[in-house]
Amino acid sequence: MNERGIDVNLTHLDEQNKPKMVDVSDKNNTTRIATASGIIEVTPEAFNAVVANTAKKGPVLQTAVIAAIQGAKQTSTLIPMCHPLMLTSVKTDIEELHDLPGFKLTVTAKLTGKTGVEMEALTGVSVGLLTIYDMLKAIDKGMVIKNVQLEKKSGGKSGDYRR
């Protein structure tokens, strides 16, 4: 255990130090929910194009929402040791940050299963923010994606977490 009370044994290595996917077959099914968020900082020009819906590539925020959901659903194909999960819900929220300027994307993933959905929420946020970047890069190549983080999670053996 480390100073935060977290077991630091590396569960993705077998007895011969070879990579492995953790066997979750003996775990109980529980409802598991995770929420992650992240921010993309943009220029005022890019921000105004999004808010006015005048970006040349189309509706930026709507596309980012679809990308975030798709990213959450595809996590196991992107992150090698993640289990393929049957998500029951992926919810998104995008907040306009006028003073930054920029946008905060929040993704909540949910399922009933044997393993958590933190990676799905984090991947959803990352893919959604990258989509915003892709759609605005002609206006602003200096955008900064930051503070991608787990906000909270519930369910499973390790219990609840809140930032």
Beta bridge partners of 154: 33
Beta bridge partners of 96: 103
Number of H helices, E strands in the chain: 4, 5
Catalytic residue list: 134
Which residue from 40, 39, 36 is spatially nearest to 137, judged by alpha carbons? 40
Q: What 3-state class would DSSP assign to 134? A: helix
- Cite the beta strand spans of 88-143 per DSSP E: 89-97, 102-113
Q: What element of type H or E holds 144?
A: strand 144-154
Q: Which amino acid makes up residue 7?
A: D
Beta bridge partners of 73: none
Cβ-based neighbours of 54, under 8 Å, separated by 6 or more = 48
